[in-house]
Chain A
C-alpha cells in the first residue's frame, strides 16, 4: 500500500518535472501569477514529499526492525522533551518558509488596480454574460452546439468524437495579449465561479455582490475553463473559453463585434 501510493506519488513528481503535458499536474499557465502559483504548488508539494520520506521512512524501519517475530523486545521510554520540542519547532520553520512566498503571491493576486480592459461578467444558470466596460460589446456565452447534442443522456454520440467535449462555447471571450484584464464578477441567480486554470484565476460570482479579479496573459492561445461552483443541474455545462490574441487582432475583433454581432447576441437572450 505504502509502496503503491509512493509510486504514484513519484509518478506525479516525474511528470511534474517533465512539464506536465499529460495533464497529471497543475498547468504552469500563461500569466506571471499562474507560474508563481505553480511554483508555490510544487514547493509545498516537495516539502510534503520530503517530510513524508522522513516520517514514513522512520516508520517503515521500525515496522521492519522492531517486530516481535524478529525477537524485538519493547523499550520502555514514554516521552522525551527534546524530541517533542524538535518536532514542534521544525514544522513551524518549514511552514514559515512556505508562508512568505504564499503571502507575496496573494498580495499580487488581489491587486486589480489600473487595468487596461474591464469586463463585467454576469453568471446565469447556465451561461455567462460578458460586457466590455469601455467598448459597446456585450454577449452571452454558452456551451457549444456539438457538446450540447452529445451531452444528453444516452445521446448516442461518442463524446470522444466531439472536439473539446464540454469545454467549448459558442462565443469566446477575446482579450489582447499582454493587457491587464480586470473581471468584475457577479451573478444573476445563484453562486457560480469563473475559472480558467491557465490563467490561475478562480473567483466566485455571487448574486448582489461584485467580485474583482484580474489576469495578464503573456501568450496567445485558447484557454478553457469551467464554472467551478455548484450552480444547479447544468453546473457541469457552463464552460469558459478565453481567446488571447495579438493586440491588433483584438482591435479587429472589437470592430466587427460592435457592428453586427451585438444584435445577434441580444437576440439569443
Chain B
C-alpha cells in the first residue's frame, strides 16, 4: 500500500491475526470451561489458548507498529484509533458499572431488605430472624465465617497515593513527549509503570493479609464478593495497564513517537487514567464509606 495522501484513506490488506485470535479464544474458553468442570486437560488447553492469544497480540501490534513507523497512517487513521480507544474504555467503564451496581444494590437494597426494610418485614421475620442490616456484612447466613473488614487506611491509602502519583507522572511524561524532551519522557514513563507494579504488589500483599489475618475471602458473603471482584478486576486492569506502559517505555527507548504522532502512548495514558478513576471510585465506595 502506497497511500499517504491526505484525501486518500488507508485500508489495510488482509490479516491473519484476527483468525489466530479467534482460535486462541476458542482454546482459552474451552480450556477454562473444562477446567472448571474438573477436567484436568482443560488447564493445558487454557494455557495453549493464552499462548496463542499472546502470540496474536504481539504479532498484531507489531504489525501495526511497523506500519505506523513506516508512516502509513494519516491523521484520519490516527483519529479512528483514538475514537476506537475512547469507546473501548467506555465499554470497560460499563463493565465496572455492573459490579458497582451490584455493590450499590447490595448495600442499599438487598442487605437492608434482609434486615426487614421496605416491603420485606416478613423476609426478616420468617427467614432471617435476628439479622440486622449492616455494612460490611457476610449476610444473614454468615457465609464464610468470622472476618474483619478492610479499613480505608494503611495499605489502601498508600495504594491510592501510588496510583494518583502515577497519574501525574504519566501526564508529565505526556507533556515531555509533546515538548520533545525525550529524557524526561522516559524517566517519568518509567516512574509510572514502576508505581503501577508497586501498586499491584501491594494489592497482592493486601490480599494475603486479608486471607491470612482477616479471614476475609472471596467467599465472605456479599462483602467479600464485591470487595474481591471489584478490586480484583481493577487489579487486573492495572496489571495490563502497567504492562502496556512498559511496552510503550521500550518503544520510547527505541525512538518511537513524535510530538504529533503518538497514538499508542496516548491510548495507554488514557487507559491509565481510567484505571485511576475507577480506583478512586473503589476507594470511596469499597474501603471508605
Contacts and interface: CB of A to CB of B under 8 A. Distances in A.
Given A209-B127, A210-B122, A210-B123, 5 more contacts: A184-B122, A186-B126, A208-B123, A208-B127, A210-B120
A208 B128 CA distance: 8
Interface in B236-281: none
B5 to A, nearest CB: 38
Contacts of A229: none
A120 interface: yes
Interface string B92-126: 00000000000000000000011000011011011
A212 interface: yes
Contact of B127 (A110, A186, A212): A186
B94 to A, nearest CB: 26
A209 B120 contact: yes
23 contacts: A110-B119, A120-B126, A184-B122, A184-B126, A186-B123, A186-B126, A186-B127, A208-B114, A208-B123, A208-B127, A209-B113, A209-B114, A209-B120, A209-B123, A209-B127, A210-B120, A210-B122, A210-B123, A210-B125, A210-B126, A210-B127, A212-B119, A212-B122
Interface string B204-232: 00000000000000000000000000000
Contacts of B114: 208-209
B116 to A, nearest CB: 10
Contacts of A110: 119
Contacts of B122: 184, 210, 212
A190 to B, nearest CB: 16
Contacts of B127: 186, 208-210
Contacts of B125: 210
Nearest to B128: A208
Nearest to B122: A210
Interface string A172-210: 000000000000101000000000000000000000111
Interface residues of B, number: 9
Contacts of A212: 119, 122
Contacts of A210: 120, 122-123, 125-127
Nearest to B140: A208
Interface string A203-229: 000001110100000000000000000
Interface of A: 110, 120, 184, 186, 208-210, 212
Nearest to B125: A210
A210 B113 CA distance: 10
A120 B113 CA distance: 18
A212 B123 CA distance: 9
A45 to B, nearest CB: 30
| Shortest Cβ-Cβ A-B pairs, 8 listed | A210-B122, A210-B123, A184-B122, A209-B123, A210-B126, A210-B127, A212-B122, A208-B127
Best-surrounded residue of A186, A210, A212 (most CB of chain B within 10 A):
A210
Best-surrounded residue of B113, B122, B123, B126 (most CB of chain A within 10 A):
B122
A94 B122 CA distance: 39
A194 B111 CA distance: 25
B128 to A, nearest CB: 8
A212 B124 CA distance: 13
A184 B122 CA distance: 8
Contacts of B126: 120, 184, 186, 210
Nearest to A133: B126
Nearest to B110: A209
Best-surrounded residue of A120, A209, A212 (most CB of chain B within 10 A):
A209
A227 to B, nearest CB: 20
Nearest to A206: B123
A210 to B, nearest CB: 4
Contacts of A209: 113-114, 120, 123, 127
A209 B119 CA distance: 11
Best-surrounded residue of A186, A208, A212 (most CB of chain B within 10 A):
A208
Contacts of B120: 209-210
A174 B125 CA distance: 25
B221 to A, nearest CB: 12
Contacts of A186: 123, 126-127
A143 B146 CA distance: 43
A206 to B, nearest CB: 9
A120 B126 CA distance: 9
Contacts of A184: 122, 126
Interface string B122-164: 1101110000000000000000000000000000000000000
B126 to A, nearest CB: 5
A77 B114 CA distance: 60
Nearest to A131: B126
Nearest to A110: B119
A57 B287 CA distance: 62
A209 B123 CA distance: 5
Nearest to A112: B119
Nearest to A184: B122
A11 B114 CA distance: 48
Nearest to B126: A210
A210 B125 CA distance: 9
